[in-house]
Chains A and B, each alone.
Chain A
Amino acid sequence: MALTLLEKGFAASIQDLGRFGYQRYGIIAGGVMDPPSAKLANWLVANSESMALIEFSFKGPSILFTEDTLFALSGADCRPELDGLVIHTGKPYFAQAGQILVIGGLISGSRGYLAVSGGIDTPEWFGSRSTYTRAGKGGYKGRLLQEQDRIPVGQPSQLAKKLMDGVPVKSDLGGWFFSLFRAYRRIQNIRVMPDTLWPRFSESSRQAFLHSEYKITASSDRMGCRLEGVALSLDNPFEMYSEAVTNGSIQVPRSGQPIILMTDHQSTGGYPRIAQVASVDLPLLAQLPPNSRISFKKITIAAAEQLLLKQHESLNLLHKRIIHKLESLIQ
């Protein structure tokens, strides 16, 4: 099984939930920028959530299915077409061999996901298929996708096979759809926990950080979300030793303009950190396009953990509902 890229879109790459256990060797964890959206796409095609899929930004790729395939799109909103017929995100579709999917530009949000039943089946590197461009490993030949790439697809699950064999109306598998109900347009409240270095920042910087707006700049990428707003400074500048950092660490380099570390961040960093983004809000942050405005709201670590657990539970519930729907189609 395979699919062929006719147009590459923008920064399309193979990703899964990340490569863990190797940051101590200087190898990034990587993985999808918006895990809930990626899981949703996989669930819709009866895959396990950790299977590899295609992530794209701003403009999706166009794809030729060379075999009958069950597929689904999620994440950013777009107006995809299958052989010229309008289709939707958040729903599984059946493509016959020879059909062409045109994803096109993204309308709201900035990361989209295409999952196919069986998952993308490029070779694993240290337990993950996530693309690590800097090391030239993982994903498809360790790089972003290009036109004419022929991307291998794995064996569909039993449920996916039954869906492809048994459903009478082939292309659209049902009138229902699933979404994560997010809006990306208004000013977003991003919840943060003060870092232990918080007290070293000046009083006016701490106030500005919590009470002014920051703009996401166009130089943001999978490594970091670069912000523009009131410059932040330390009371007494000091040199830090490099140390491990994590997704959501908000670093403040000498320019005073904060950088939020995102999925492809280096495993270590040496800039002072003012705060940490609550994990529950990172997928949303990953979806905010350049020029989006955000404001920060302080919460406790205990509250952040509770929010994460709640998100986890509601995703589990969504997964159960999807499996139930898919199974009802073949009965």
Chain B
Amino acid sequence: MTIEPFGDQAVRVIFGDQIAPSVQLKISRFIQLFDQNPFSGFIEYVPAYTNVVFYYDPMKVIGSGHKNRSAQRQVIDYLTELSQDVKKGSEHESFRRVVHIPVCYGGTFGPDLNEVAAAHDLQPDEVIARHSAPHYLVYMLGFAPGFPFLGGLPEELATPRRATPRLKIAAGSVGIAGKQTGAYPLDSPGGWQIIGRTPVPLFTPETNPPTLLQAGDLVKFDPVTEQEFKCIYGGCNDGTHFA
């Protein structure tokens, strides 16, 4: 683990240089421990694939700590010390939450499904089967409220972004971009290959936290029919697709 300065009000704690579940696990454990022991002047942290940025208020750090040492030095020292405690923890992955997300693949909900299939010499059904097979790991949220960056897409489904981005992609659209897969929480422009849509909201502004997913969660996409999509969207309340 290394810590580097990031401007005058943040530092970046780096846990690895590759996207890997083991790196994400280290991040999750570090954050868990940090939540129990935040420092005075801490504002928030944002985890990403291989690192976490900690934001702080230098005035408050200095006000509550050493008057003669820079706030950044104090924050770096604090996080370095905390990292010693993390190393003592176990390597268990068992605490991960699994979130099932129903997806209606193809048709008007997934206009690029056939193109993705053709690009890999697969039938659309095979793309659906392969895309819905893995448990994807949520590495980070960004770009928009609740937008998950997922790892674990089967290599044979990796597809470049569309040459011309769409001006509007509907909320709930599930897409592929290179080796990434994810879902759009809000209507937005974007260049991902759209293969399906989920009726489940990823951005839930009236709840806390305001998103369906959090970094460290596992996601399983469950194929549903258009009928089931409408039922879930309209609130049939059968609960089948929620873990």
Across the interface, name the chain B residue whose C-beta is closest to A241.
B49
Q: Which of B8, B44, B188 contacts A278 (CB 8 A)?
A: B8
Report A303 CB to chain B, min CB distance, Å: 9
Q: Give the complex CA separation of A244 and B47 in angstroms.
A: 7
Q: A241-B49, A249-B7 are in contact. Are A25 and B44 (CB under 8 A)?
A: no
The one of B8, B53, B62 in contact with A243, judged by C-beta atoms closer than 8 angstroms, is B53
Closest to A275 in B: B7
Instruction: Given A26-B141, A312-B59, decide whether A304 and B205 contact each other with a Cβ distance below 8 A.
Output: no
Our count of residue pairs bridging A and B at CB distance below 8 angstroms stands at 132
User: Is the beta-carbon distance between A246 and B10 smaller than 8 angstroms?
Assistant: yes
A267 touches B9 (CB 8 A): no
A177 within 8 A of B: no
Q: Which chain B residues lie closer than 8 Å to A23 at the CB level?
A: 44, 46, 55
Q: A25-B210, A25-B211, A134-B144 are in contact. Are A196 and B4 (CB under 8 A)?
A: yes
Q: Can you list, as one digit per residue, whether each of B107-130 has a CB less than 8 Å from chain A (1) or not (0)?
A: 000000000000000000000000
Interface size class of B (residues with CB under 8 A): 35 or more
Chain A 109-136 interface mask (CB, 8 Å, partner B; 1/0): 0000000000000000110000000110
The majority secondary structure among interface residues of chain A is: mixed
In this assembly, does B19 line the interface, its C-beta being within 8 Å of a C-beta of chain A?
yes
Separation of A241 and B149 alpha carbons in the complex (Å): 10
Inter-chain CA distance A278–B8, complex, in Å, is: 7
Q: Which one of A27, A242, A246 lies within 8 Å of B210 (CB-CB)?
A: A27
Interface size on A, residues (CB 8 A): 37
A193 touches B140 (CB 8 A): no
Q: Which residues of A contact B144 (CB under 8 A)?
A: 26, 134-135, 266
Residues of B within 8 A of A (CB): 4-10, 12, 19, 43-53, 55, 58-59, 62, 70-72, 140-147, 149, 185-186, 188, 203, 205, 208-211, 214-215
Closest 4 CB pairs of A and B: A268-B142, A244-B46, A276-B7, A244-B53
